[in-house]
Amino acid sequence: MDNLVNIKEETIGEIVTRDYRKAQVFKDFGIDFCCGGKKTITEVCESKGIDAAELNNALEKVTDEVDTIGNDYQKWDIGFLTDYIINTHHQYVKDNTQFIIELANKVAKVHGNQHPELVRVAQIFTQVAMELISHLNKEEKMLFPFIKELSVVQHNGGSVPESAFGKVSNPIRMMESEHEEAGEALQTIREITGNFTLPADACNSYTILYKKLDEYENDLHKHVHLENNILFPKSILVEQGLQMSKS
Ligand SMILES: [Fe+2]
Ligand SMILES: [Fe+2]
């Protein structure tokens, strides 16, 4: 019972940060655990009309399973986590975006008359993917190098790094709002395709497109979770700690 009370008080982001396996449960219930991660279970259940007891039961079941993967992101150094995000999730976006844009446009051209939602899918995906590439650029050129400097000073000493943007929370706020826009666009694609349900006349390209869109959204959820719920709050804390030790 104590456990249930604890789970209710935590935010969804905190729950997923403690145990990433629970992300799948939130996904199954249609709950956004990355951009909407600052809400509690009670708040989300109320706004979405979800039975909180049913959700808590599903979360409890995950607790009972053995975790063989190990979810230690929270313990990672912020500089290391930054590199991990670039090498894993930024690389995923760079490797897959062009392929999906071309595939989405091809499938829309061939099947768009019978399935007009495919034309919207191609348009929405092309736009969100372009915005995402520019978002990654801002992180890699501006925010992440600063976070890596924070990590170096945290371990080796020295003064708080200077930046053109003031406190680290300023670019973080901007990145979070861009995450929200990207998450909403991919959610729209999921909705207009009926959760990626293939029609009877779907060809191979159509099938691969839905598979890749689903995979792309999943990768983005994990990527945004690592930034919004772990990297960003930790970076703000490290900067605050360094500033306090200076004064
Ligand atoms: Fe990122
Ligand atoms: Fe990001």
Whether residues 83 and 178 fall in one domain: yes
Whether residues 186 and 121 fall in one domain: yes
CB distance 144 to 154 below 8 Å: no
Distance from the CA of 103 to the center of ligand 1, in angstroms? 24
Whether residues 81 and 112 fall in one domain: yes
Number of domains in the chain: 2
pTM of the model: 0.83
Whether residues 52 and 110 fall in one domain: no
Dist. CA 125–CA 187, nearest whole Å: 11
Domain with 49 in it: 2-64
Distance from the CA of 90 to the center of ligand 1, in angstroms? 6
Dist. CA 238–CA 25, nearest whole Å: 31
Whether residues 185 and 100 fall in one domain: yes
Residues with CB under 5 A from ligand 1 (ion): 139
pLDDT in tens, 1-43: 444 444 457 888 888 888 878 888 888 888 887 777 788 888 8
Whether residues 104 and 28 fall in one domain: no
Distance from the CA of 52 to the center of ligand 1, in angstroms? 31
* Residue carrying the six token digits 């995950």: 62
- Ligand approaching nearest to the C-alpha of 183: 2
Whether residues 191 and 220 fall in one domain: yes
pLDDT in tens, 101-139: 999 999 999 999 999 999 999 999 999 999 999 999 999
Most confident of 32-41, 80-89, 160-169: 80-89
- Ligand approaching nearest to the C-alpha of 89: 1
Listed in sequence order, the residues at least 6 apart from 131 whose beta carbon sits closer than 8 Å to its beta carbon are 178, 181, 182
Distance from the CA of 219 to the center of ligand 1, in angstroms? 11
Whether residues 91 and 59 fall in one domain: no
